């Protein structure tokens, strides 16, 4: 989940980045203006030919009570597989944003939590709504559907291992995904799983992580996946090779918007657990597995990022969020305009820019889904990954040859020796001026307003 904070004025006022959220970030200005003046794998059984998988769609953040017209565009893509990236339903509840009154949800004086969980019956009802959405119902008839959860379908905004309702939530997600009654995935702690699709020579492995069930609190610097899941992941990565390996993480792996967007923007991501993130890259590197990339959701916008110094080849993270929930869709036109402006000035060292993006920032904050196409008929095979809008038009894309994602030993020693080093500087390592750009602009705006008021 994404949050935003207004640290300069209050101590650490963090808000869920939901509807009207950016409006809230402008609140300081508005207030001033108002002053006087375990292991589970499905491998194709040997002998039975497994059909080629060449089109995979993925998406996140689908509000069950909203219209979901985007399914038509997803159906038109004719995916062989659909992956739910989390926030598949919004299972928790939000109290209104209130600074004053009986239920104060914000500020150091707040007396209730902004979010609270639903009963089991209510969660069930919401899952049923989601499952019966016309477009989705048709897709799930036609296409294999797999997936994971994020915080809102897990049961509570930004929740981790401490959440008491997690086993109930796990059963309900398993029901939603039609996981067989006798599946070991229903009995393990957490919803992680892995799948292999396609015949020999055209195999795609999909590793679905659980980033909630075992996760320590956000600022604890603790564990992200928990011991059992880490052990399982290592086995999965070191196991039989496949041409492609897609790792599904509900939250962003590579982009770390908090480092440059703070105090306005805060995202829940692997970046908040630097040691765990390093462990993840090291594991991929040590496994010498080729063809690995990430897909993610959660943040209410689409982005393509790439990290060139975590392994022996560039690692991509393609974020699609959301199917219905998106920053601009949830805002007034004026706030949507501001969001676009802010994304243009928040620097990013990991984002992949391309001329094909709909917006210059290469962030797309309206409803979108991810569309992966593998052309197995050319040699080497080519992978194209797009973010597509509600009408199915591309808003951002990246493509690469499978041969570019090969874990070859590089000559020479040390990191970043193989010549692909455009995306190596972590956001937190970029210059002070770059990291503080947004804060400085905000400061200039606020002091400008103050001077107008008091001069």
Ligand X SMILES: *[C@@H]1O[C@H](CO)[C@@H](O)[C@H](O)[C@H]1NC(C)=O
Of 256 and 361, the one with the shorter C-beta distance to ligand X is 256
The residues near 334 (Cβ < 8 Å, ≥ 6 apart) are: none
Region 379-438 residues binding ligand X, contact defined as CB under 6 A: 389-391, 409, 415, 426, 428
Cα gap 384→304, rounded to integer Å: 12
Region 351-370 residues binding ligand X, contact defined as CB under 6 A: 366
Interacting residue with ligand X among 51, 134, 274, 448 (CB under 6 A): 274
Interacting residue with ligand X among 229, 249, 285, 331 (CB under 6 A): 285
x/- binding map, residues 299-338, to ligand X, per CB under 6 A? Answer: ----------xx-x--------------------------
CB of residue 452 to ligand X, shortest distance in Å: 32
x/- binding map, residues 226-265, to ligand X, per CB under 6 A? Answer: ------------------------------x-xx------
3-state secondary structure of 152: helix
Of 242 and 256, the one with the shorter C-beta distance to ligand X is 256
Residue 225 DSSP label? S
Token code pair at residue 409: 């030993």
Cβ contact 124:59 at 8 Å: no
Of 177 and 390, the one with the shorter C-beta distance to ligand X is 390
Contacts with ligand X: how many residues (CB under 6 A)? 19
Partners of 401 in beta bridges: 382
Choices 130-138, 165-173, 274-282, 332-340; region in contact with ligand X by CB under 6 A: 274-282
CB of residue 26 to ligand X, shortest distance in Å: 22
65 binds ligand X (CB under 6 A): no
2 binds ligand X (CB under 6 A): no
Closest CA to 238 of 278, 282, 284: 284
Cα gap 325→62, rounded to integer Å: 6
Long-range contacts of 306-309 (CB under 8 A, 24+ apart): 306/254, 306/350, 306/352, 306/398, 306/422, 306/423, 307/254, 307/281, 307/350, 307/423, 307/424, 308/416, 308/420, 308/421, 308/422, 308/423, 308/424, 309/415, 309/416, 309/421, 309/423, 309/424
Choices 37-45, 197-205, 242-250, 277-285; region in contact with ligand X by CB under 6 A: 277-285
Of 165 and 367, the one with the shorter C-beta distance to ligand X is 367
Cα gap 167→213, rounded to integer Å: 9
Positions in the binding site for ligand X (CB under 6 A): 256, 258-259, 271, 274, 277, 282, 285, 309-310, 312, 366, 389-391, 409, 415, 426, 428
């Amino acid at each position: 989940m994404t949050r935003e904070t207004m640290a300069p004025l209050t101590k650490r006022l963090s808000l869920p980045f939901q509807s009207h959220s950016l409006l809230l970030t402008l609140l300081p200005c508005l207030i001033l203006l108002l002053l006087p003046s375990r292991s589970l794998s499905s491998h194709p059984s040997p002998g039975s030919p497994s059909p080629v998988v060449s089109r995979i769609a993925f998406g996140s953040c689908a509000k069950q009570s909203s219209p979901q017209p985007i399914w038509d565009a997803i159906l038109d893509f004719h995916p062989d597989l659909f992956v739910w990236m989390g926030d598949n339903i919004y299972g928790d509840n939000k109290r209104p944003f209130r600074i004053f009154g009986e239920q104060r949800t914000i500020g150091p004086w707040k007396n209730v939590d902004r979010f609270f969980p639903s009963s089991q019956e209510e969660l069930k009802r919401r899952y049923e709504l989601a499952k019966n959405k016309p477009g989705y119902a048709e897709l799930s008839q036609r296409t294999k559907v797999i997936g994971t959860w994020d915080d809102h379908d897990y049961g509570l905004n930004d929740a981790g291992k401490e959440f008491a309702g997690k086993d109930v939530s796990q059963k309900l997600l398993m029901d939603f995904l039609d996981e067989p009654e006798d599946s070991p995935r229903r009995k393990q702690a957490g919803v992680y799983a892995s799948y292999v699709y396609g015949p020999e020579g055209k195999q795609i492995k999909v590793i679905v992580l659980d980033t909630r069930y075992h996760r320590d609190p956000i600022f604890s610097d603790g564990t992200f996946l928990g011991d059992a899941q880490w052990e399982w992941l290592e086995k999965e990565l070191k196991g039989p090779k496949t041409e492609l390996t897609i790792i599904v993480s509900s939250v962003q792996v590579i982009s770390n918007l908090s480092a440059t967007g703070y105090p306005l923007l805060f995202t829940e991501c692997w970046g908040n657990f630097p040691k765990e993130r390093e462990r993840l890259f090291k594991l991929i590197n040590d496994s010498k597995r080729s063809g690995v990339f990430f897909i993610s959701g959660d943040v209410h916008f689409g982005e393509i990022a790439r990290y060139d110094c975590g392994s022996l080849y560039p690692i991509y993270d393609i974020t699609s969020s959301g199917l219905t929930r998106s920053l601009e869709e949830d805002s007034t036109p004026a706030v949507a305009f501001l969001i676009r402006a802010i994304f243009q000035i928040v620097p990013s060292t990991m984002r992949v820019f391309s001329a094909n993006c709909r917006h210059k920032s290469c962030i797309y904050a309206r409803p979108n889904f991810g569309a992966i196409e593998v052309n197995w008929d050319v040699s080497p095979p080519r992978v194209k990954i797009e973010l597509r809008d509600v009408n199915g038009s591309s808003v951002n894309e990246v493509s690469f040859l499978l041969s570019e994602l090969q874990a070859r030993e590089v000559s020479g020693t040390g990191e970043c020796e193989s010549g692909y080093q455009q995306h190596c500087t972590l956001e937190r390592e970029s210059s002070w001026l770059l990291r503080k750009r947004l804060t400085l602009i905000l400061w200039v705006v606020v002091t400008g307003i103050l001077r107008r008021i008091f001069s």
